[in-house]
Amino acid sequence: MSTNDNPFRIGFFSYLQGTGPIEQTYHEVVELFTLVESLGLDSGWVAQHHFGHHGGLPSPLVFFSNLAARTRHIQLGTAIISLPFEHPIRVAEDAAVIETLHPNRLQIGLGTGFASDAVMETFGHAGETRRVIYDASIERLVSALNGDAVNTDGDVLIPPAGTLRQRLWEAPSRVEGVQQAARRGNGILLSRVAIGVQGVSTDVVQRELVDAYYAALPEGIAPRIAMSRTVYPSNDPEAAYADLAAGLDKSRKTKPTGKTLEEEFEHFSIHHGKPEDVARSLLAEPLLPEITDLIFQVQPGEPDFETTKSIITLMAKEVAPRLGWKPRAGSSNS
């Protein structure tokens, strides 16, 4: 999965959230991803959220159709598409169209997503369980991408999906889901913060998930492990610290229980400070030697547009090289 003999690929993730009008945010994120490409980074990732809950993008594949036409090299990844709220054959068709126009650039991450009862009802799933819907939907999606018939008439995807089936990812938070993803031969997306676990640090929880993934992966299938982390290098570390602290406080559902702010940063694997300090912190991540993709984001920080560009630039030019990573040949950073 790596390029240029790199130990792993490096990508930037955005929730497409901002303080201005949503159209401004969309245009700014397109500009951020074109910066990602110009600096020789490997990928850009977005998440799907409905009605502005947790993020501003309900239609990632529509967004990618625009972004793919404005870039040439970066991989375009979803982390994630909330599959229970989508028809799996329609996801397969839309993805196949992008794959046809922009071959080998799409990385499809899938998950159960988050949803209130009202959102479940909006999509016609009142009283249903997201995991049950997901398990049925992903089987249909995989089958369609494989070129199998999608109905009793024998219809198959047109256009065909090419090699897209080999670029599916899943984002389970529990061992059972990881094992299912591994048996399907899919990659796994490790979230920025371990979900549904109290009092245990993210890296400890995810160590168990990775071990389960290896154990269940069929022989001959290369592992694909993408790890998402908060990475906030800055030439003004105090300002970065303050932004992260304010964002973390804002995102809490409950007040902290006995941990100092620095202990919370460590608990949630937040890497911040001067570029050399961020690199040193990332190199201490226990799972770093095993991943194929490092996906960095600024959350829980809420930097403005210009600061976010600075973070991406520092990551590409000063942090990533200290991790053994090299930019794509021919980029402005090579």
Cβ neighbourhood burial of 131 (10 Å; 0-12, 13-18, 19+): middle
Are 73 and 41 contacting, i.e. CB atoms less than 8 angstroms apart? no
Residues in CB range of 23: below 8 A, 6 or more apart: none
Question: If we measure between CA atoms, which residue out of 57, 53, 59 comes closest to residue 16?
Answer: 57
- Please, what's the b/e burial string for 222-255 (b: 16 or more CB within 10 A of its CB; e: otherwise)? eebbbbbbbbbbbeebeebbebbbebbeeeeeee
d(CA 314, CA 330): 19
CA angle 276, 14, 80 (to 5 degrees): 120
Domains of the chain: 1-6+224-334 (no CATH), 47-215 (3.20.20.30)
330 backbone φψ class: left, alpha, beta (φ>0; ψ -120 to 50): left
Given this model, what pLDDT does residue 267 score? 86
d(CA 253, CA 281): 27
d(CA 211, CA 214): 5
Question: If we measure between CA atoms, which residue out of 55, 12, 46, 7 comes closest to residue 296?
Answer: 12
In order along its 334 residues, the chain shows pLDDT tens digits of 455 689 999 999 999 998 899 999 999 999 999 999 999 999 999 999 999 988 999 999 999 999 999 999 999 999 999 999 999 999 999 999 999 999 999 999 999 998 889 999 999 998 889 999 999 999 999 999 999 999 999 999 999 999 999 999 999 999 999 999 999 999 999 999 876 666 788 889 999 999 999 999 999 999 999 999 999 999 999 999 999 999 998 887 655 557 888 888 988 899 999 999 999 999 999 999 999 999 999 999 999 999 999 999 999 999 999 999 999 999 999 8
Q: What is the pTM of this model?
A: 0.95
The span from the first CA to the last CA of the chain, in angstroms, equals 20
Distance of CA 229 to the CA centre of its chain: 10
Question: If we measure between CA atoms, which residue out of 35, 12, 21 comes closest to residue 306?
Answer: 35
d(CA 45, CA 226): 11
Dmax (CA) of the chain: 63
Q: Which residue has the tokens 């409950």?
A: 254
Given this model, what pLDDT does residue 3 score? 55
Cβ neighbourhood burial of 294 (10 Å; 0-12, 13-18, 19+): buried
Write out pLDDT tens, residues 219-266.
999 999 999 999 999 999 999 999 999 999 888 765 555 788 888 898
